[in-house]
Structure 1
Amino acid sequence: MSDAIAAGVGPIALAVLSAFLVALGVVRASIAYAHRRGMFDQPGQRRSHTIPTPRGGGIGIVIAALLTMPICLLQPSSFWPLHLTVMLLFATAMIALIGWWDDHNSLPVLPRFGVQLLAVALFSLALVGGPLSWLWLPLWIVGGTWSVNLHNFMDGIDGLLAQQGMYVACGLAVLAGCTGQLALAGTAACVAAACLGFWYYNRSPARIFMGDVGSGAIGLLLFALTAMLWRLHWPLVWPALILSSAFVTDASLTLLTRMLAGRRWYAAHREHLYQWIVRRGHTHAASSAWYLGWNLLVAAPLAWLAFEKPGMGLLACIVTYAIAAVVWACAKRRLIKRDRYKVRHVHT
């Protein structure tokens, strides 16, 4: 380990600890703020909770990440230029602010989508300004915008999104650390620590929900960290994508089936797999455990295989998503079938 890298370990470790403590404190304060402002998610037919719960706690994740990520990215040994760090912070703040506004007063779809698209485009422009070809820019804009929205879609039960944020960010930190990129590893660890600070209050039974301010920001940050790994060494994109397979599969296939069925795909619903698990009588914690089991038993080993054998990275990624699609379809079909049987049994 070089002297420059060794000197950066202490500040980065302090940044990670600070991310956890800042998130913990800000989320605690946001609970009181939500009560004062009357910011509650009410139970309903298209929601998975049964009591009014304050929202907007994701602001703790955002503030913690914005304060601590620069400590890591601006280390003397860091690979990352100042303009990319600034644009990452700016894009995160843009996504968070439009989400914070929406948490207070519901906004139409187009203004929110426009801000998301602009934020992702600005970060992507900063990213491809280096060795990456400009031909990748449209792909990153589409992928980043989808990441922002899919993580918003998957924020529907206690603890699930925070758990996923911790898992994926930790995995990305390991990938970056194994390639000697301490600055990026520390940045990802700060995101994971911030998610942990929020999860403490969001675990079942949740004392506060994340809100759009947090879900969109997490989607942007996980996309950005994945994209930065690609810029470091493009084969790293395959294990990074494998880490996100649970959420990408559930959100993408649910959206696709709703569109093919002619439903209003953008409207609130309870058709994601995690929502069906809860609808069948399982707890929020049990539903989250399903996703954690996939992450630890399937995604993590295959991601490590893709990292250790770069030549097999694409194949491992394809296999992961193929298995995920089959598991998703079989599990959802069984849950729906049991629900229909229950309805018929009740009526008879």
Structure 2
Amino acid sequence: MDGLTTAIVTVTAFAVTAALGIWMIPFLHKLKYGQTILDIGPSWHKNKQGTPTMGGLMFIVGILVACAAGFALYAARSGGFNPIQQMENAKFAAGLLMAAAFGFIGFLDDYVKVSKKQNLGLTPSQKLVLQFGVAAFYLVSIRLSGDATTALPIPFFGYFDFGIFYYPLAAVGIVYITNSVNLTDGLDGLASSVTLMASLGFLVMGRMLGVVPAELMAAATAGGCVGFLVWNFYPAKVFMGDTGSMFLGGLVVAMAFSIGSPLILAFVGIIYIVESLSVVLQVISFKTTGKRIFKMSPIHHHFEMSGYSEVQIVAAFSLVTAVGAALAVFSIARL
């Protein structure tokens, strides 16, 4: 994909997302779709009570519009797609559908929260059933597209064939990463900034491997995240909600699968993974010993309780993601 198309996709996602905020934020205020802040969180978060949530709809529209425009533009400029690209295109469409489906699950969760004025939406079991259903749909879709390989590159170690374990492990991985992105959305601009760095890494990897759909998705995601940060950077005027964070989780997974290297998320998604692991370790430690490892989990709240500002934490986590993305690019170059 040429630089002009990449720029058009990125700018389109940014412009649509940022512009939608002008209308959507007052609209969400009017509907009184405000965030409910739990008492167990940092006390200073109480001043965020009532900030509109479900703002992720802004970049969902922006990213999908940009992907459609970029796909059409690339097809027109390149004169069509070859058979190999047809498989990549099918995975591209399946990835966007997966992200949209995860976003819809998040929307249902957010809607229950705001309509009942509580911080609990769908039950964990309801969410998991829906999420695994979406993951299964995606894996079946890419299998039907012609991608039947069960061998994956392990960064810096070569390929390993997972055989019959590939699909159940892949489904667990998809759900795990999606929920990890959701957990990362706990500070103003955090999930948006971290995902921006991750998408830039995928943009480089897609260009290196010549996987146009991955470039398209990454460019649109980067633009959408920057457009959302116009409204979501500290102090946030709107939150993405589970609607947005689960959509971004689906996109991150789709980008990793589109370049044929989902395990690269060990580097690109290092912050997502650390966030979710901090919750798991905190629960295990408290239930087994009665003691907490962190002052509060997910780990971004631990750093908050340690005296770091939201802006400092967002900057540090984004930098870590950028380093992880650079390692991912280096590992891809060695394949």
**Same fold (TM > 0.5):** yes
- Kindly provide the CA deviation profile for residues 222-252 of structure 1, in whole angstroms up to 9, marking residues without a partner as x: 011101111xxxxx45544311112212312
Q: Is 1:91 aligned to residue 98 of structure 2?
A: yes
Indicate the residue corresponding to 2:205 in structure 1.
175
Aligned residue type for 1:39: Y
Indicate the residue corresponding to 1:57 in structure 2.
55
Shift of 1:12: 4.5
Number of aligned positions between the proteins: 293
Aligned residue type for 2:132: L
Shift of 1:167: 0.6
Query: 3-state SS of the aligned residue for 1:261?
Result: helix
Shift of 1:83: 4.0
Give 1:273's match in structure 2, choosing from 299, 309, 326: 299
- RMSD value, Cα: 2.4
Q: Is the 8 A contact 1:73 1:80 kept in 2?
A: no
Q: Percent identity?
A: 20
Give 2:64's match in structure 1, choosing from 42, 63, 66: 66
Give 1:284's match in structure 2, choosing from 310, 313, 330: 310
Q: Is the 8 A contact 1:21 1:197 kept in 2?
A: yes
- Kindly provide the CA deviation profile for residues 32-74 of structure 1, in whole angstroms up to 9, marking residues without a partner as x: 1221111112344333423122111111121122222234456
Shift of 1:148: 1.4
Indicate the residue corresponding to 2:149 in structure 1.
132
* Partner Cα separation in structure 1 for residue 7 and residue 314 of structure 2: 28
Q: Is the 8 A contact 1:20 1:197 kept in 2?
A: yes
Q: Is the 8 A contact 2:57 2:243 kept in 1?
A: yes
Shift of 1:299: 2.0
Shift of 1:303: 2.5
Shift of 1:85: 3.7
Shift of 1:92: 2.2
Residues 143 and 43 of structure 1: is their aligned pair in 2 closer, same or farther, counting only changes over 3 Å?
A: same
Q: Is the 8 A contact 1:128 1:137 kept in 2?
A: no
Query: 3-state SS of the aligned residue for 1:41?
Result: coil
Indicate the residue corresponding to 2:279 in structure 1.
254
Aligned residue type for 1:199: L
Shift of 1:189: 0.9
Give 2:328's match in structure 1, choosing from 274, 296, 303: 303
Indicate the residue corresponding to 2:24 in structure 1.
30
Trace 1:1-348 onto structure 2 (pairs within 5 A). 10-48=4-42, 49-51=45-47, 52=49, 53-73=51-71, 75=75, 76-77=80-81, 79-81=85-87, 83-105=90-112, 106-129=121-144, 130-133=147-150, 135=164, 136-230=166-260, 236-237=261-262, 239-262=264-287, 270-296=296-322, 298-310=323-335
Residues 194 and 292 of structure 1: is their aligned pair in 2 closer, same or farther, counting only changes over 3 Å?
A: same
Aligned residue type for 2:40: R
Which structure ranks higher in relative contact order (CA pairs < 8 Å, sequence separation ≥ 6)? 2
* Partner Cα separation in structure 2 for residue 251 and residue 89 of structure 1: 24
Residues 254 and 108 of structure 1: is their aligned pair in 2 closer, same or farther, counting only changes over 3 Å?
A: closer
Aligned residue type for 2:235: P
Q: Is the 8 A contact 2:204 2:329 kept in 1?
A: no
Residues 85 and 294 of structure 1: is their aligned pair in 2 closer, same or farther, counting only changes over 3 Å?
A: closer
Q: Is the 8 A contact 2:6 2:215 kept in 1?
A: no
* Partner Cα separation in structure 2 for residue 124 and residue 36 of structure 1: 40
Q: Larger deviation: 40-49 or 16-25?
A: 40-49
Shift of 1:212: 0.6
Q: Is the 8 A contact 1:59 1:213 kept in 2?
A: yes
* Partner Cα separation in structure 1 for residue 330 and residue 204 of structure 2: 14
* Partner Cα separation in structure 2 for residue 86 and residue 182 of structure 1: 13
Q: Larger deviation: 201-210 or 85-94?
A: 85-94
Shift of 1:272: 1.8
